[in-house]
Amino acid sequence: MRRPFLLGKERSMADAFVCGLRRKLVRSVWKLDLSRRKRGLEAVWKLYDISMDIHPAMRVWKDKDDKRPVFETVSTHAQGKSHETRLRLDAHTGTHVDAPLHMIAGGATIDAIPLEKWMGPARVLDLTGVRDSIGRAELEPHAPQRGEWILLKTRNSFAEGGAFDYGFVFLNAEAAAYLKEAGVRGVGIDALGVERDQPGYPTHRTLLEAGILIAEGLCLKDVPVGSYWLIIAPLRLIGVEAAPARAFLIGAGDGNGR
């Protein structure tokens, strides 16, 4: 059932109570934040934009020219008109999300996934020591929890320049099976893909068939490991298998990667 933030006649007393408490909590943290800022202290809540810049020289999948964004200026002030740009973007450009149709014939498209599924509690895990792929053994110490987003911070986050890294760190098939077992809500990675060099794309398939969401192309370099609230906002594209998205984390930056 959808739970609107504002009170409605149909809401039960218990719902109203919880909603009121939540609003009080948000208000008090907001006030604390304001007073800390006024005193020149660090804010309680930090906002981390974890989205890639989109431009023609950005990193694209396997450096393919047909994956490169094209910005075409269609009118300018010099022409006595308003400035307007036409974009040509692959659906998997930069920070983006994959829908089941990407790997499963007849699978759901982006517009079939409710917006609230793209947000929720998230943990940024430190996997910067992994050289090749993330397996079950690398995830087990972090004890992935049911319903949370797992964001994989790897050495990919520290790659410089716009060239594609063919040896990027990825999530392997056994790790995907483990995350399915754990019942996580979604997986995000700091590479343009969640897997490579696995015939049949078992990582994508396992996750998408289990209803686990996938976010790719996250920028986690400046994000301390720890717990956050994640918001991903995919474009409302109709009938396609992926969508570019703005993604950000809100949190205290507590460094608690568990």
Q: Which residues bind Zn ion (CB under 5 A)?
A: 92, 98, 216
Instruction: Find where tokens 């109570």 sit.
Output: 17
Residue with smaller CB distance to Zn ion, 148 or 216:
216
| Residues 15, 24: Cα–Cα separation, whole Å | 14
- Given the complex with Zn ion, which of 207 and 225 has the nearer CB atom? 207
* Chain residue at closest Cβ approach to Zn ion: 92
Bridge partners of 188, per DSSP, are 151, 215
Least gap, CB of 227 to Zn ion (angstroms): 26
Contact 249, 124 (CB under 8 A): yes
Min CB(144)–Zn ion separation in Å = 21
215 phi-psi bin (left φ>0, alpha ψ -120 to 50, beta other):
beta
152, amino acid identity:
L
Task: Let me know: does 149 contact 186? Beta carbons within 8 Å.
Answer: yes
| Amino acid present at 207 | L
Q: Out of 55, 83, 96, 102, pick the active-site residue.
A: 102
Kindly state the smallest distance separating residue 188's Cβ from Zn ion, in Å: 12
Q: Which residues of 19-44 are buried (b: 16+ CB within 10 A; e: fewer)?
A: beeeeeeeeeeeeeeeeeeeeeeeeb
Minimum Å gap between C-beta 101 and Zn ion is 11
Smallest separation, CB 96 to Zn ion (Å): 6
Instruction: Select 193 or 226, whichever has its Cβ closest to Zn ion.
Output: 193
Which C-beta is closer to Zn ion: that of 217 or that of 226?
217
Whether 204 is catalytic? no
The C-alpha angle with vertex 128 and arms to 194 and 207, in degrees rounded to 5, equals 25
Secondary structure element (H or E) that encloses residue 223, with its range: none
Please answer whether residues 189 and 171 qualify as being in contact, where contact means their C-beta atoms are separated by less than 8 angstroms: yes
Phi first, then psi: give them for residue 82, nearest 5 degrees: -75, 160
- Residue 101 or residue 225: which is nearer to Zn ion going by CB? 101
Among all residues, which ones are annotated catalytic?
Answer: 102
